[in-house]
Structure 1
């Protein structure tokens, strides 16, 4: 039996960004995304075939259209794009844009912004760009080191609620003033819950998605805590037949940046292996 977790694959924010990218590919040449539009190599490769190129800097764009990815961009990048008179298509997820706005507002109100997230992730970098003195923490233990009196707590949209609550509890005991905004995406939380539930009932469990995708890695980490047979794959070709030997209940989940056709290909590959 093969079961795919409800809500697996593209979320609304990713669909929006990809829709902008693919529709712009029909407008001719000089179309770029600032960084990969999403953290999925298959989608980035497909866009490249259609003439939409991912670049690492606004400086690498001579002219034309720039698409801001779903993770958002630094305020300086937006300014540079305007100065170069580029046509801007903003693919920033509305939920991510809200986090950026909250960070900016907290900073302007005199709060030290504390962000639960990966400091090297583009979403977090963009949030920090809106609140320059932010402190980024990756785990509850990091919160013990904070010695500020006035803190605004937010999160990268793909983090887990359990970690966020632990950090909020720790900070609450250490500050005079604390504002907390739950900025974790509800769709991400629902998928995490469905993933955990399915992983508990599976003999073997597959997490599909880009190896650099934050929410996919989070799903993998959560699954590994409750199931000893968990595999993170990007493509069907990575699946090894021995992983499925003797396994009757096969569970699958996929990150919010994983295309539906990739999920379908993995399901078909598993069916082919188990039927032989």
Structure 2
């Protein structure tokens, strides 16, 4: 039987679990179909599970089709300040399940932009978390994905970070900004759950033959786990669920196989993957 080593920190983080629990609780409270603004988490299997529990993802444009009094859950990634006002003005019942770590960034962006600081966000400009944070400073933030700048760094800046960013990118970017800005407020807002998952993935991928990273293909934190593992272990693979596990990757029985999972991957998916690795 192949030996499987599961990373010490893998799977659901606090913010994602909180959002899922809050959605299920809210649906039971109102006992009717409720909605999440966008997929609650970046995991297709979990989205299907929620649909079976009468919780459906919609886009902002779809809100126009709803009647006042419908229940809409804000997912863990958060949204723009104007989006919450728009939903409330439409008469929707808004349940805000934004991760507290993300809320912390929104508050900082809002406060310090009003105090005259130019907000710089280290993150993916196309990610809903980053777009949401930008919406708390009038969409005026400067955004860099990897510490490269196609803009002039202002003299007075407040720097925040997407919760799932790599620490090395944060350090690299802050060093660059420090060379140019005169006044800097720097808040390392990488989520503690992200940091421990990345460290666990880094540790385990250095000592296994094959590394399996489980999580949604659109999940930012899962993609970063895969990148970390691939750097240490050439035979690293990113799968969404057990159906994508190719047993040809596990080419002999005495392999040591490492497994880690993104913050939006439920335990039951991780267990299915481990079981297949062990018994096939």
Which region of structure 1 is more displaced relative to structure 2, 50-59 or 232-241? Answer: 50-59
Residues 99 and 127 of structure 1 are in contact (CA less than 8 Å); yes or no, is this contact kept in structure 2? yes
| CA distance in structure 2 between the aligned counterparts of 1:47 and 1:161, rounded to whole angstroms | 32
SS in 1 for 2:148: helix
Structure 1 residue aligned with 2:64, among 36, 54, 59?
A: 59
Aligned to 1:2: 4
User: Cα gap change, 1:266/1:73 in structure 2, threshold over 3 Å: closer, same or farther?
Assistant: same
| Deviation digits for residues 53-74 of structure 1 (CA, Å, limit 9, x no counterpart) | 1001133433411100000011
- The higher relative CO (CA closer than 8 Å, separation ≥ 6) is in 2
Query: 5+ unaligned residues in a row in structure 1: which ranges?
Result: none
**Does the 8 A contact of 1:32 with 1:61 survive in 2?**
no
Matched residue SS, 1:95: helix
What are the equivalent positions in structure 2 for 1:108-187 lying under 5 Å apart? 108-131=114-137, 132-142=139-149, 145-187=151-193
In structure 2, distance between residues paired with 1:146 and 1:196: 34
Q: Deviations over 1:212-249 (max 9, x none)?
A: 01100110111111110000001101111110013611
The count of aligned residue pairs is: 272
Match of 1:29 in 2: 32
State the secondary structure of the residue aligned to 1:53: strand
Give secondary structure in 1 for the equivalent of 2:170.
Answer: helix
Cα shift at 1:147: 2.9
Deviating more after overlay: 59-68 vs 10-19? 59-68
Q: Distance in 2 between matches of 1:261 and 1:60?
A: 35
What 5-or-longer segments of structure 2 have no aligned partner?
A: none
Q: CA deviation at 1:127?
A: 0.3
Q: Give the deviation of 1:42 after TM superposition.
A: 0.9
Greater Cα offset, 253-262 or 242-251 = 242-251
CA contact (8 A) 1:208 1:253 kept: yes
Pick from 250, 258, 272 the counterpart of residue 265 of structure 1. 272
Q: Distance in 1 between matches of 2:130 and 2:208?
A: 33
Q: Which residue does the alignment assign to 1:43?
A: 46
**Distance (whole Å) between structure 2 residues aligned to residue 145 and residue 77 of structure 1:** 28
TM-score, scaled relative to structure 1:
0.95
Q: TM-score, normalised by structure 2?
A: 0.94
Distance (Å, rounded) in 1 between the aligned partners of 2:170 and 2:179:
15
Alignment partner, residue 259 of structure 2: 252
Shift of residue 29, structure 1, vs aligned partner: 2.1
How far did 1:39 drift? 0.8
Instruction: Please tell me whether the aligned partners of residues 27 and 33 of structure 2 are also in contact (alpha carbons under 8 angstroms).
Output: no
The equivalent position to 2:21 in structure 1, one of 15, 19, 22, is 19
Cα distance in structure 2, aligned partners of 1:250 and 1:145: 44
**Higher mean C-alpha displacement, 21-30 vs 40-49:** 21-30
After superposition, the C-alpha distances for 1:75-129 in whole angstroms (9 at most, x for unaligned) are 1210111112211111100000000100111111111111111101110000000
- What is the rounded CA distance, in whole Å, between the counterparts of 2:126 and 2:76 in structure 1? 16
Q: How does 1:214-233 map to 2 (within 5 A)?
A: 214-233=220-239
